[in-house]
A and B are shown apart, each in its own frame.
Chain A
Amino acid sequence: MSAGVGVDLENLWIRFGDFVAVRDANVNINGGDFFSFLGPSGCGKTTILRAVSGFLDPSEGKVLIGGKDMRGIGPNKRPTALIFQNLALFPLMKVWENITFSLEISGASAKERRKRADELLDMIALPDQGDKLPSELSGGQRQRVAIARALCAEPDVLLLDEPLSALDLKLRQHMRTELREIQKRVGITFIYITHDQGEALTMSDSIAVMRAGVIDQIADGKTIYNDPNTAFAASFVGENNVFRGKVKQIMGNEALISTNRSGELVARISSANQGKLKAGDDAMMFIRPEAFAIAADGASGDHFVTARVNHEEFEGNVFNIFTEGDGGKEIKVSLPNLGQSFDDHTGQNITLEYETRNAVLVPAGELAAE
């Protein structure tokens, strides 16, 4: 695996008229990494991708590929290849012509192109399909042809714009592993755009979480999931229960919060906010559904929450309990199915328990839309 070519965004601003699509983005992507931009639709992640591929000029700031400023260099001169959301396979060309389009442009002979196409078709496990038209392939096969076409150009950086969004669930999960494998095999930098946190978490070395043109956090998947910087990152990546309140007291890396509805609770301050949060600040505490456990009745303290069970559902691998907190707020609890029996709690009050390290405190902020 070669070191690959890195991509850096320096103070990148992109505006469309008065609208700011990307606000002061600073990202360092290491060569050979699988890097994802994760965010809801309209957050500016595709705009960043277009700026990297050269279809869009940044309003301010720089895009550097391999340390070289890309300003004024068109998409056809950049060492990048883009896989479009709708794949954009050329409908009138056969599969092998599609794959080797970049070679046709560089003036390779038909024989050479055919040879290279066969190699790539073998790689994407579609041997002998070169003479078909793209319309004769299935969705997953088209997907792989698009990857082969991009790889045929031998780019230093491969850009993928939600390429799996059009596929059904099973295929999507299969393609995740396949993409990751291809990336490891060719060893070039992948920049992946998605709104699906599952895709981002399973495939990426690093993830940038974006909200309305702003990058909230750049870290590996585990860190983003366990130690979010902002309320948005905490609520967008995975499921989370939010408790709003005010910081009452700071105790080193932990804090006591007087929540609006569940009394005083203790939480761990997320790493990025340690030393920044002060007593009296508005704050939000996040606890994952799977971090709760049912405690003995009557237990109370700063890591117990009492709630009345609204309804329950059995999902297979987990048993979900939806409760109403004291003030009417819904809390979701997921208990792993380990073969134990689940009592029906509907209508009853239960006490939930959590460990302090599983409760993350961030400054109050915007939440991701449900």
Chain B
Amino acid sequence: MNNSFLRVSIWVYLVIFFLYLLGPLVIMSVTAFNSSAFPRMTPWECLTFQWFGELFQDQRILNGIKNSLIIGAGTVVLSVAMGLAGALMLTQIWPKLRATYYTIIIAPILIPGVVLGISTLVFWDRINRMLGLGADSFLSNGIFLTVIGQSTFIASYCMLVLVARLQRYDVALTEAALDLGATHAQAFRKILLPFMRPAIASAAVLAFLASFENYNTTTFTFGEYPTLTIELAQKVRYGITPAISALAFIIVALTVFFALLNEAKLKRQELVAAARKSATVEELAGKIKLPSFFAGNMAAVLLVVFAVATITVVGTATAYNPGQCIANVKEQKRLEADQRIQELRKQREEQRKKREAEEAEQGGAQQSTPKPSNNSGFGNVFAPNTLGGDAEEESSDTETPPSNNGGFGGVFDPNSLQTDQ
């Protein structure tokens, strides 16, 4: 009894936890397929892929992605190289200095990215001036500055990853290679580097992701090369469209894909290793083949399911045309609006009649009453007209500005988007 209660509460907790973690992503992903001009799930209008199309036509986003990729690649190369050098140095340095060295090299992680961004900008600007170069020199190039600025702290992350692996390295292996006639360079390339390869791969992925999502350092250094995060931040200022959701969906999908791919690969290696342990060399030669890729490998199965789903979705997207649906929705909205206008007119008519009746009663004593329905003290908020007005604006570009009582200054209002473009 008590036990089952515990089990239920654990499940409830898990559900809440995963909702909290994944809920926003799921909702954002779903909004990418809704034809509503503002990213939202309800009311569901039409299934559409138009936002993906719009995303790929948005030059600023595309340019941002391109810059992000270039800067990411540069940061990966620089950070992993610096991280590896730093990690190697840590193992070579005089033991008494090691703790101090470690603190210094880790410090950039603790320094706010804003400070790193400003200092990068100021430092290289000084260098640039000292060398007497102009504002268009390489040293003041946005890509260069951003790569350098991001690498100042991403290299420390990389070093942490690499040090963990390097600590498991046996220096005797390098010595053995030297003893067998290898030069230091050969020992590094043939022994140490292969050993470090998995850690280098992890560090590279980490560096790329850290670079891709960085905003606070980049915002000072990007110059004429805004990255994706910068572009997104600037877009939000003018209101967002589901095209952003589409981008988010693509990123989520890619992440899931690569995570599954990696998992499947690891699992496969495990299986192969297990098989090797129990099998002889001759058996192995024929035994492990691709068909058994799926045997006991959940991740691989998921991966294939995922790939099939992607192909289906893309296939549907090219064939599917939501035009009819959108037209229907528009038509429906127009009808609703018409209906409301009708109602409104009717109401006004009634009011007018009422007023006329009153005027007739009072004999024209109060002829100059300006806005008769405005005496409730709530500025018309509760009047049925106001409610109806919102829908009216959506379908037909009306003369009145939006009611603006949302507190966001109309940022999220679809109308402001339309007026901007």
Contact residues of A with B, CB < 8 Å?
53, 55, 74-77, 80-82, 84-86, 88-92, 101-102, 104-106, 128, 131-133, 136, 149-150, 153
Contact = CB atoms under 8 A, between A and B. Distances in A.
Residues of B contacting A: mostly:
helix
Contacts of A131: 281
A121 to B, nearest CB: 12
A76 B181 contact: yes
Given A92-B194, A128-B281, A102 B180 contact: yes
Given A75-B178, A86-B170, A91 B183 contact: no
B253 interface: no
A84 B177 contact: no
A324 B341 CA distance: 121
B182 A90 contact: no
B195 A92 contact: yes
A84 B172 contact: yes
A150 B180 CA distance: 7
A132 B180 contact: no
Q: Nearest 7 CB-CB pairs, A to B?
A: A88-B172, A88-B176, A102-B180, A82-B179, A105-B181, A75-B178, A84-B172
A91 B181 CA distance: 18
Nearest to B173: A88
30 contacts: A53-B179, A74-B178, A75-B179, A76-B178, A76-B182, A76-B183, A77-B181, A80-B179, A82-B175, A82-B176, A82-B179, A84-B175, A84-B176, A85-B172, A86-B170, A86-B172, A88-B172, A90-B173, A91-B173, A101-B180, A101-B182, A101-B190, A102-B180, A104-B190, A105-B180, A105-B181, A105-B186, A132-B281, A136-B276, A149-B180
B179 A81 contact: yes
A198 B183 CA distance: 37
B191 interface: yes
Nearest to A86: B172
Contacts of B181: 76-77, 102, 105-106, 153
Contacts of B191: 90
Given A80-B179, A101-B177, 17 more contacts: A53-B179, A55-B178, A75-B178, A75-B179, A76-B181, A82-B175, A85-B172, A90-B177, A90-B191, A101-B182, A104-B190, A105-B180, A106-B181, A133-B276, A136-B277, A150-B180, A153-B180
Contacts of A101: 177, 180, 182, 190
Nearest to A133: B276
A350 to B, nearest CB: 52
Contacts of B277: 136
A104 B187 CA distance: 12
Nearest to A149: B180
A75 to B, nearest CB: 5
A115 to B, nearest CB: 18
Interface in B65-91: none
Nearest to B281: A131
A315 B177 CA distance: 46
Interface in B141-194: 170, 172-173, 175-183, 186, 190-191, 194
A306 B181 CA distance: 62
A128 B176 CA distance: 24
Contacts of B186: 105
Interface in B181-237: 181-183, 186, 190-191, 194-195
A153 B195 CA distance: 23
Given A105-B180, A136-B277, A75 B175 contact: yes
A84 B173 CA distance: 9
A56 to B, nearest CB: 11
B184 to A, nearest CB: 8
A90 B176 CA distance: 9
A55 B277 CA distance: 36
B30 to A, nearest CB: 46
A78 to B, nearest CB: 8
Contact of B195 (A74, A82, A91): A91
A55 B281 CA distance: 38
B224 to A, nearest CB: 45
Contacts of B172: 84-86, 88
Nearest to A80: B179
A118 to B, nearest CB: 13
Determine which residue in B177, B180, B182 has the highest number of CB atoms from chain A within 10 A of its CB, and name it: B180
Interface in B325-354: none
Given A75-B175, A82-B176, A105 B195 contact: no
A89 B170 CA distance: 10
A101 B176 CA distance: 10
A81 B276 CA distance: 31
A308 B182 CA distance: 64
Contacts of A91: 173, 195
A92 B276 CA distance: 15
